[in-house]
Each structure stands twice: as structure tokens, then as C-alpha cells.
Structure 1
Amino acid sequence: MLEAVREPVTAYVALGANLGDAVQTVRSAMEAIHGLPQTEVRQRSSLYLTTPIDSDGPDYVNAVVEVITSLCAPDLLEQLQKIEQSAGRKRPYRNAPRTLDLDILLFGSGHVHSLALTVPHPRMVQRAFVLRPLAEIAPALVTPKQLRAVRDQAIEKL
């Protein structure tokens, strides 16, 4: 059951894929997110090619979208997981290569700490593949210091 929050919230969602046609998967996921109930994609970053971190497999295609949603954070997560499943997402082990990975980075100014969801995303400031696309669409949310801290991570704008 989808519950609505009182006022629409701006949230940021990271997208990543490194199996199959990753570029098309990420683009299709952006469209699927835009089609979610009570949710609209407002901005989309460029696509970025990155090497896996704490993982193996092919390079990833990554992006970030800004959404406006009236869903609460757990319901948004549930909807994003349905999109992952429809893309063939399997979770055989932590950091396994994936057809699609969708993570809520920020949900308004809210903080969520549950077994299923932590917002702000706990590792977002450690990942160039999150910070660079986020800085592209929401520069006020990423500091120069944060970008400097991940500058040694390989990332290429597609």
C-alpha cells in the first residue's frame, strides 16, 4: 500500500548498472522512476562510466535523478526495488555485479534509519559515481572538499 506524505519532497536517487546493456537499462530506469505513482523526475544527470568499487565485473554506468514525490521514503524504496526486479536484479552476494541498482541518496531534509533504508545514504560521500552526477544536477548539495576526497576514483562522463 502506498502512503502519501503531506507535502511533496525532493529526493535524489542514484542509478547504476554493469550487466547487459547498462546504458539502456539506466535510461529505462529513469523513465520507470518518472512513471511511479505520485512521483516525477525533475532532473537527470549525464551518464558516467566508472570502475567497480569493492566489487568486480564490468565497468558501471551511473547517474543520479532528482525526483519530486509525495511517497514516503519506505514506499519510494519499495517502488524502486520493483523497478530493479523488473530489470532482473538478483542479490547473490554483497556488491555483486548487477543489472540495475537504485539507491535513495537524500529524501528532503529527512533522516531514515531502519534495517531496510538509511537516508542520507551512508556511503554517498565516499563515491565519485554518486557525487559527480549529484553535483551536476544539485551543485549546492556537494562541497568542493567532498569532490576532492574522491578525485582519485576513475569516472568518465559518457
Structure 2
Amino acid sequence: MSDTVYVGLGSNEGERENHLVAALSALSRIDAVAVLHCSSLFDSAPVGPPQPRFLNAVVALECGLPPQRLLCILQQIEKDLGRTREVRWGPRTIDLDILFWEGQVVADPTLQVPHLELHKRRFALEPLVELAPHLRHPVLGMSVKELLGKLAPQDVRRSEATWWPEASYSSNDT
């Protein structure tokens, strides 16, 4: 059995787009996971201590793994791509977050799905709305498009891609 999972990607160190492409490539090599769609890239101001701007995207995955197993794999991908965890919300080569897991709420000490801060973060909601505007937040009961509409303006803008695949989503859904 497979579920649709939405993973947020972000990078603000070095060649940001290259890090996102490398993470996407790694995601595509996971057994029991298939990359379904990629959002556009979004450039955003950081949350947390002063640091460089982020490049963000969201990918939709078809996943046959349990949530904790996918989390372990994502953390290994981060490590393989040079992520260090020295400063909370500090700069990073790559950040991979499980934002949504189709039809599931996960609440344990190491994983919270939907992501606890998702409804506050335009840099995650903008690309998620591209892929699945009608996806309903199982706790808040609103679509991601509605959540985005309630957010105050934040410094997030679409970014041109060099290597990242063109956004693959249906414009009829937006």
C-alpha cells in the first residue's frame, strides 16, 4: 500500500539549487518511493538567526514506507549532502521535512505530521499549493490554499530554475 507524501526541501548554503537537485535525485533512488511531482523553486528569507536566503521546493512522493522509516532515510540524505545540526534553525546545505502524509496524523517525539509549523510558513505553503491546493490539513480542517490565504505577507518569491525540473502540476487546480 502506498500513500502520497509531501516533502519540503530547502537549502541556504553553497549552491542551493544543486543541493535541491541532489536531494531530489536521492529521493528518486529510495526503494518503495516514487517522485510524482515537483513544485517550482521559491526564494525566501530565513526563519531564525541571521543567515543567507533559502531556496525551497516541495515534492510529492508515492511512498510505501512507514513514516519513521522515511524520516530516517531523509535524515541520512541530509547527512550525506553535508547537513550539520549545530545551530537550531541555522544555515544548512539541505533540509528535508515531511510536511503532509496522505490521510495520516503522526505525533511522536521524533516526528510530527502534518509539520507543526506548516500553517505559519509561506515558503512551504506556496510550493505545496502548486501541487495540491485542495489538500486538507487534518488537524486544522482547512485546505492548504485556505491556510496560505490567511497568512500575512512574507518575503517569499518564485525563483527561476537552472537544473531543477520544471514544476509539474496541473494549473487547473490553482
Q: TM-score, normalised by structure 2?
A: 0.84
- For the 8 Å contact 1:126–1:149, the answer to whether it is kept is no
Number of matched pairs: 152
Q: Which residue of 2 aligns with 1:9?
A: 3
The 2-side partners of 1:48 and 1:151 are apart by 17
Structure 1 position 94 matched with structure 2 position 88: yes
**SS state of the match for residue 63, structure 1?**
strand
**SS state of the match for residue 71, structure 2?**
helix
The 1-side partners of 2:114 and 2:17 are apart by 26
Structure 1 position 26 matched with structure 2 position 17: no
* Deviation string, structure 1 residues 52-106 (Cα, Å, up to 9, x no partner): 0123211000000000010000000011011100111001121011110000011
**SS state of the match for residue 64, structure 2?**
strand
Report 1:141-156 matches (<5 A): 141=135, 142-156=143-157
Q: Percent identity?
A: 36
Q: Which residue of 2 aligns with 1:76?
A: 70
Q: Which of the numbers 12, 37, 41 marks the counterpart of 2:35?
A: 41
How far the C-alpha of 1:115 sits from its partner, in A, is: 1.2
- For the 8 Å contact 1:110–1:119, the answer to whether it is kept is yes
How far the C-alpha of 1:125 sits from its partner, in A, is: 0.8
Letter aligned with residue 95 of structure 2? D
Structure 1 position 103 matched with structure 2 position 103: no
Spell out structure 1 runs of 4+ moving beyond 6 A: none
Structure 1 position 66 matched with structure 2 position 67: no
The 2-side partners of 1:13 and 1:149 are apart by 22
**SS state of the match for residue 133, structure 1?**
helix
- For the 8 Å contact 2:133–2:145, the answer to whether it is kept is no
Greater strand share, structure number: 1
The 2-side partners of 1:63 and 1:55 are apart by 21
Gaps of 5+ in 2: 136-142, 160-174
Over aligned residues, Cα RMSD in angstroms?
Answer: 1.1
Q: TM-score, normalised by structure 1?
A: 0.92
Letter aligned with residue 156 of structure 2? I
How far the C-alpha of 1:152 sits from its partner, in A, is: 1.0
